[in-house]
Chain A
Amino acid sequence: MPIDASLVGRAFPATQPLAVTEEAVSAFATAVGGSAGGAVPPTFPIVVTFAALQDFLAAEQVELSRIVHGDQRFRYERPVVVGDALTATLTVTGVRSIGGNDIVSTASEITDAAGALVCTATATLVHRGGAA
């Protein structure tokens, strides 16, 4: 189903806080071939960003298998550290249709337990409307 262009500008409810534990960071780092116990990988905030994206897709009844990630950018105010509790709040910034695919642009503000901005994550999702 097509993505509703009237969603542009809408902010979705904040995610549940994600606890940045040693275990979660080690699992993420080792999955991409890094070592456990080091610095938090810079792409780690995708975990809470993805939770926000998934909430958005579920709210819009979009099937995840039809989604391909088009673009992802992070701008960091400070490094994420073990002990953080991160929350993402997603806003839809654009919806356009190209060749039967819907391109959805989003920006998620990722904040810590004190409400301070840690990172801004912008993502473009491609909803593949083509092959059945």
Chain B
Amino acid sequence: MSDLTPGAALEPRTYEITRADLVAYAHASGDHNPIHQDESIALAVGLPGVIAHGMYTLALVGRAISEWTGDAEVLELGAKFVAPVVVPAEGAARVTVAGTVGERNDAGLLTLALEITSDGTKVLGAPKVTVRA
């Protein structure tokens, strides 16, 4: 659990994503888009390589929220996928979820102001997170 006082910094979380994770996620989510598995298809449609499912990265945000808040109820979660997370054939891509606790609204709900990056590049834009915590 983190300090959830408005304005408090949330301890950054860094997670790794491997090709094997993408295979497991494809099976678990039903999203078998080959751009998340097959380098030649990803390159053929103009991508820089095999990329993580945007929803994989957003799921990592969900994981960070759960770790920071002790599984608080999430009321809103969303973001734009502004840059691809390229996952190498060997090794892993790294995604960092960081930010601060935002305001508590009239309903007592807390917003989190997050930044989601991979090797210093912002990968999620306009993230919106509201929790009951």
In the assembled complex, the Cα of A68 lies from the Cα of B47 at a distance in Å of: 10
Q: Which residues of A contact B75 (CB under 8 A)?
A: 75-76
Stretch at the interface among B4-12, B50-58, B115-123: B50-58
In the assembled complex, the Cα of A79 lies from the Cα of B76 at a distance in Å of: 11
Interface string of A73-92 (1 = CB under 8 A from B): 11110010000000000000
CB of B113 within 8 Å of the partner chain: no
In the assembled complex, the Cα of A78 lies from the Cα of B128 at a distance in Å of: 17
CB of B77 within 8 Å of the partner chain: yes
User: Once the chains bind, are B44 and A131 in contact (CB under 8 Å)?
Assistant: yes
- Point out the residue from A46, A65, A72, A75 that lies within 8 Å of B33, measured CB to CB: A65
Chain B nearest CB, measured from A75 CB (Å) = 5
Q: Which residues of A contact B33 (CB under 8 A)?
A: 64-65, 67
CB of B101 within 8 Å of the partner chain: no
Report the count of interface residues on B (CB-CB < 8 A).
Answer: 42
User: Once the chains bind, are A75 and B76 in contact (CB under 8 Å)?
Assistant: yes
Which A-chain residue is minimally distant from B53 (CB atoms)? A69
- Point out the residue from B32, B45, B54 that lies within 8 Å of A72, measured CB to CB: B54
Residues 8-39 (chain A) with a chain B CB within 8 angstroms = 24, 27-28, 30-34, 38-39
Q: A33-B63, A66-B45 are in contact. Are A28 and B29 (CB under 8 A)?
A: yes
Q: Which residues of B contact A24 (CB under 8 A)?
A: 28
In the assembled complex, the Cα of A75 lies from the Cα of B73 at a distance in Å of: 12
Q: Which residues of A contact B63 (CB under 8 A)?
A: 32-34, 41
CB of A93 within 8 Å of the partner chain: no
Chain B nearest CB, measured from A86 CB (Å) = 13
CB of B99 within 8 Å of the partner chain: no
User: Once the chains bind, are A31 and B71 in contact (CB under 8 Å)?
Assistant: no
User: Once the chains bind, are B21 and A31 in contact (CB under 8 Å)?
Assistant: yes
User: Once the chains bind, are A128 and B46 in contact (CB under 8 Å)?
Assistant: yes
Residues 32-62 (chain B) with a chain A CB within 8 angstroms = 32-35, 41, 44-47, 53-56, 58-60, 62
A-B residue pairs in contact (CB < 8 Å), sample of 9? A31-B24, A38-B71, A42-B65, A50-B29, A65-B34, A65-B35, A68-B54, A71-B80, A124-B80
> Which residues on B are within 8 Å of A, measured CB to CB?
15-16, 21, 24-25, 27-35, 41, 44-47, 53-56, 58-60, 62-63, 65-66, 71, 73-81, 84, 128
